[in-house]
Amino acid sequence: MPDLVAVIMAAGKGTRMRSKLPKVMHSLAGKPLIEHVLDVANQVGIERPFVIVGHGREAVAAKVQERAEIVVQTEQMGTGHAIMQALPYLEGAQTVLVLSGDQPLLKPESLQALLKLHQDGEACATVLTAYLDQPFGYGRVLKDGDQLVRIVEEKDATSDERLIKEINTGTYCFRGSALKDALAKITSKNAQGEYYLTDVFDIFLKQGERILTYCTEDSHEALGINSRSQLAEAERILRERNLEHWMAEGVTIVDPASTFIDIDVRLSQDVTILPFTRLLGNTKVQEDAVIGPQTTLENCEVGSGSEVTYTVAKNATIGVRCHIGPFAYLRPGTSLEADVKVGDFVEIKNSKIEAGAKVPHLSYIGDAQIGKSANIGAGTITCNYDGSSKHPTRIGDHTFIGSNTNLVAPVEVGDYAVTGAGSTITKNVPAEALAVERSQQIIKEQWQREKRNRGQK
Ligand code: UD1
Ligand code: CA
C-alpha cells in the first residue's frame, strides 16, 4: 500500500443534470468530467486512484478502468457512505486524498499545495476551500478564528450560516487511520438523510485533532457541476484558461471568442488559428500551420506550414506544407503526405495521397491510393462502392487524371498514365498509356441554319 492514495467519488446520479447519462460522464472540453479529475490526480503523482461508482456504474467503470481501481457503492447514501465503501482498500495508507468526480476545474498546483500543507502541518485533515461571492448550494466552512469548526450543508444551514462565503470544495486530505475511525461514528441525521463525509470534522475536533484549511486563489476551481448551467460555466472557464495557455505558448488566436480547443489538443509555436474554428479530441498541429477560418478538426494531425481553411476533417493526417480547402471534407483514414493540395468541394475517405499530388476541385476519393505528384482533374470520382462492397483504386505516380473521370474500382492506373476527360475507366491502365473512353463527337454542319430554314417554310 503506497503512503498516498486517492479516492474519487463518482457514484451520484446527478439528479439536477436531468440526464440519462451519469453526471461524471458529461463531456467538458472534449472529455468526461471524471477524466479531468483523473488527470489532476495523475499530475500530483497518483497513478491509480480508486473511483467510487454507483449510478450508471457500467458506463463509468468502462471509461476509467484502464487508469483506476473501481469501487462500487450500490446505494448512494451520501459522500460519507461513499468513502466507507472504499475503506477496505485504504487499509495502511498514511494519507488519503479525497476528490469529487464533479469538480473538473481543480488545478494540480492547488492539490499539490493542499498535500504539502497537510503533510508539513502534520494535520489529521486538511480541506481545500474557496471564497465565493455566490456560495449558494455549497457546504459552508464555519470557523472560530482560523480554526475550522464544522462544515454545514446549504440545506442544514441557518440563515446566518448561509451568509458565510468560504465554502468546502469537496477536496480533502485525511490521515488514513483517523478517517476510518471517524467514518464509523457519523450518522445520517440531517436534512438530506445522508451520511455526510463532512461530519468527520466534528469528530476530529472533539478528539483534539488538528484540522487545517487551504483556500484556493482561483475560486473557479471550486466549481462543482450539478446542473447543465454549471457545465456550461465550466466549459467557458476551462476554454478561457486553455486559450490563454496556448497564447502564452506562442499560438496566435485571432478571435478567442469564436475559437474552441479541446483540452487534449496539442499546438506548436507560431500556429495561427483563425476565427470560428474548433480543434477537437487529440488533434495536433505543428509549427507555422494556419487553421481556419471556419474549420473543424477532430483527432487530426496537421504538419508544419500547412493551411487548412473552411474545412471539416476527422481522424485524418495532413502532412507538411499541404493546402486544404476551402470547403474540403476529410473523413477517417485520410492520410496526406507532404505538399498535397486538396481544393474546394473535395471529399476524401480512407485514402493515402502521396507527396505533391493534387486533388484541386470537386472530387470524391474513397479507398484509394494516389501516387506522387499525380494530378486529379476536376470532378474525378472513385466509384468505390458497387452496392454491396467497397473496392480499392490505385493511381500511380505522376499520373494525369482528366476532368470528370470515373474510376470504377477495383482499378489501377499505372505511373505516368493519362486518362481523357470524361472517361469511365473500368479496366486497368498500364504505365505511360493514355486511356480514353468516350463516344466519337459528331459534327453536323449547318444543322441549326437548316432547322431555322425549315421553320420558315
Ligand atoms: C458536496 C459537499 C459540500 C461541498 C460540495 C462541493 C458533502 C456532504 N457535501 O456537496 O460540502 O461544498 O460537495 O462540490 O459532502 N457521491 C457519491 N456517492 C454518494 C453521494 C455523492 O459518490 O452517495 C459523489 C457524487 O457523484 C459527486 C460527489 O460525491 O461526484 C459530491 O456529491 P454531491 O451530491 O454533488 O455533493 P454536493 O451536494 O455538491
Ligand atoms: Ca456537487
Asked if 353 contacts 375 with a C-beta cutoff of 8 angstroms, the reply is: no
Q: Which among 15, 16, 70, 79 is the best mutation to test ligand 1's pocket, defined by most ligand atoms within 8 Å of the CB?
A: 79
pLDDT higher than 90, residue 68: yes
Q: Which one of the ligands is nearest to 83 CA?
A: 1
**Predicted local distance difference test score (pLDDT) of residue 267:** 98
Which ligand 1 atom is nearest residue 11's CA? 22
Ligand 1 pocket, 77 CB below 6 A?
yes
Q: Kindly give the pairing relationship between strand 211-215 and strand 125-131.
A: parallel
Ligand 1 pocket, 286 CB below 6 A?
no
Verify whether residue 361 is a known catalytic residue: yes
**Predicted local distance difference test score (pLDDT) of residue 13:** 85
pLDDT higher than 60, residue 457: no
Q: What is the DSSP string of 244-302?
A: HHHHHTT-EES-GGGEEE-TT-EE-TT-EE-SSEEEETT-EE-TT-EE-SS-EEES-EE
Ligand 1 pocket, 101 CB below 6 A?
yes
Centroid of ligand 2 to alpha carbon of 411 (angstroms): 59
* Helices 79-90 + 176-183 axis angle, to 10: 130
Ligand 1 pocket, 135 CB below 6 A?
no
Ligand 1 pocket, 170 CB below 6 A?
yes
Which ligand 1 atom is nearest residue 168's CA? 12
Q: Kindly provide the b/e burial profile for residues 387-413, where b requires at least 16 CB atoms within 10 angstroms of the residue's own CB.
A: eeeebbbbbbbbbbbbbbbbbbbebbb
Q: What is the DSSP string of 173-184?
A: EEEHHHHHHHHT
Averaged pLDDT, 186-198: 96
Q: What confidence tens digit (pLDDT) does each residue in 16-50 have?
A: 999 999 999 999 999 999 999 999 999 999 999 99
CA–CA gap between residue 75 and residue 81 (Å, rounded): 9
CA–CA gap between residue 228 and residue 18 (Å, rounded): 8
Q: What confidence tens digit (pLDDT) does each residue in 148-172 have?
A: 999 999 999 999 999 999 999 999 9
Q: What confidence tens digit (pLDDT) does each residue in 240-264 have?
A: 999 999 999 999 999 999 999 999 9
CA–CA gap between residue 201 and residue 179 (Å, rounded): 10
Within 10 A of 39 (CB to CB), how many other CB atoms are there? 16
Asked if 234 contacts 251 with a C-beta cutoff of 8 angstroms, the reply is: no
DSSP state of 330: E
pLDDT band at 456 (very low <50, low <70, confident <90, very high): low
Give the residue whose CA is nearest to atom 22 of ligand 1.
11
Instruction: For residue 159, count CB atoms less than 10 angstroms from its CB and return exposed for 0-12, middle for 13-18, buried for 19 or more.
Output: exposed
Give the residue whose CA is nearest to atom 9 of ligand 1.
139
Ligand 1 pocket, 176 CB below 6 A?
no
